[in-house]
Chains A and B, each alone.
Chain A
């Protein structure tokens, strides 16, 4: 057994930078590199893509990432784990095998981990949506996808079977990191304090650059060096679950207790109850200590037994989003933008346009924060009218109404932009953990 293992993060979201991942694989002395690429809604969009073409439905950057990373993963013996499989891990694994062949790499074992698709297991009679409290039956024929957040189990099987590359569908983000730690140190799946420590590592690492000073600089008091070459993080952990976070010396950014604190609480509710499929992690007693520059020790994480339930993200069609904008500048810019709002409101009434939720933003004045407008007169302001509608027709009508401000509205409005997009929304339900069983399939180049 190894004394310590080193894990790097290669992506914190689907569109993330690729070069920092390559740098880590080349120079990070890593055992594993993890790419976390699946946001809440991504898998529903990927499912729609898979319906169009059964060979698609995986991460759009999979090919670019694999071409850039695989040669160094092979030469440096770094195993790659990622949820880039999205709605189609099997197609992602086959594609990866093809890329490995084209690159002329030695034979590698590529695992597809799935079983997260639980759409056929939904029970419309009994299940309740966690967000709205309504019965799942209200979504009925609008449902696109239902994916359970799986735990470490599928990835563990793949590691035991000697996989080099593991591509999953929906798994809990920290599980991508926790699985190789459990595998290397042979941790018990019922040792909750240890699983809590591994989960803390996963949570701190899963957004890649965000723990290395990305999303941190305020331009004045919080300065971060070289964000243009921001490094992605490395965690080194031992079998007792003690770990530190660092980055490559020559990369941009910084790892400090402050960057770690911001990331620890990111997307967390009760810090003593961070729910995952394998453990309820407890971050409430964590502390950070700077060991040396850009090297922070993390201690005090623990964990408690589980609920026995898995969260399921249900993706569904939820109407359309209309977004139309027009700019006003110079004297009385704000007055003209406000006049334009009054005109649009009157038009919505007079043409009897039905909208579910409508928002009038003055970009530069109150588009981010409502109720805090300054009295100062801006030299330019951009009106944004955004609305959720049931049908495409209503959305198109609304954005066209904003466009008619050109010839029918206040003077000198310019730069109209309009978009209508179909909404794929997400709500959640719970299912019993034993109902979603991971499945693993292997491919080789």
Chain B
């Protein structure tokens, strides 16, 4: 199973920091997501694209989490050589993350 099967997502940017929301399609899956999609697993999955730390904020009311990811844009939208200077496509990348679900 992949993250895209349980959640949807949008990226926002401020300077060289992006945030990627992870929102359960069905709020019942929130706890599953909370267990398997951690700051550490997100940082590992994004790999070489992220130089800084990843912080996770939890929003159980919404069945959602917000990942704040530092140093992800090679300097930020105004001065980055990246094709996608805002990092907007990275939410689609994160949704490909495999989920290890305990039965």
A-to-B contact residues, CB < 8 Å: 40-41, 131, 215-216, 218, 221-222, 258, 261-272, 284-288, 300, 318, 321, 323, 357-359, 361, 363, 367-372, 384, 386-388, 423-428
Looking at the complex, which one of B75, B78, B84 makes contact with A357 (CB distance below 8 Å)? B75
Closest residue on chain A to residue B78 by CB atoms? A425
Closest 9 CB pairs of A and B: A267-B12, A265-B21, A386-B81, A425-B79, A425-B78, A262-B10, A359-B81, A266-B12, A371-B47
Q: How many A-B contacts are there with CB distance less than 8 Å?
A: 120
Are the CB atoms of A215 and B74 closer together than 8 Å?
no
Chain B residues within an 8 Å CB radius of A263: 10
Closest residue on chain B to residue A269 by CB atoms? B68
Q: In the bound complex, what is the Cα–Cα distance between A369 and B47 (angstroms)?
A: 10
Q: In the bound complex, what is the Cα–Cα distance between A358 and B81 (angstroms)?
A: 7
Closest residue on chain B to residue A367 by CB atoms? B83
Chain A residues within an 8 Å CB radius of B10: 215-216, 262-263, 265-266
Are the CB atoms of A368 and B66 closer together than 8 Å?
no
B-to-A contact residues, CB < 8 Å: 8-10, 12-17, 19, 21, 23, 25, 47-49, 57, 59, 61-62, 64, 66, 68, 74-79, 81-84, 89-90, 93
Smallest beta-carbon distance A289→chain B, Å:
11
Q: In the bound complex, what is the Cα–Cα distance between A265 and B13 (angstroms)?
A: 11
Chain B residues within an 8 Å CB radius of A271: 57, 59, 66
Are the CB atoms of B62 and A359 closer together than 8 Å?
no
Knowing A40-B77, A258-B8, A287-B61, say if A363 contacts B14 (CB, 8 Å).
no
Are the CB atoms of A359 and B82 closer together than 8 Å?
yes
Q: In the bound complex, what is the Cα–Cα distance between A261 and B17 (angstroms)?
A: 20
Chain B residues within an 8 Å CB radius of A272: 57
Chain A residues within an 8 Å CB radius of B19: 265, 267-269
Are the CB atoms of B78 and A426 closer together than 8 Å?
yes
Are the CB atoms of A369 and B61 closer together than 8 Å?
no
Looking at the complex, which one of A300, A358, A363, A428 makes contact with B61 (CB distance below 8 Å)? A300
Smallest beta-carbon distance A83→chain B, Å:
17
Looking at the complex, which one of A358, A363, A388 makes contact with B79 (CB distance below 8 Å)? A388
Chain B residues within an 8 Å CB radius of A423: 78-79
Closest residue on chain A to residue B63 by CB atoms? A261
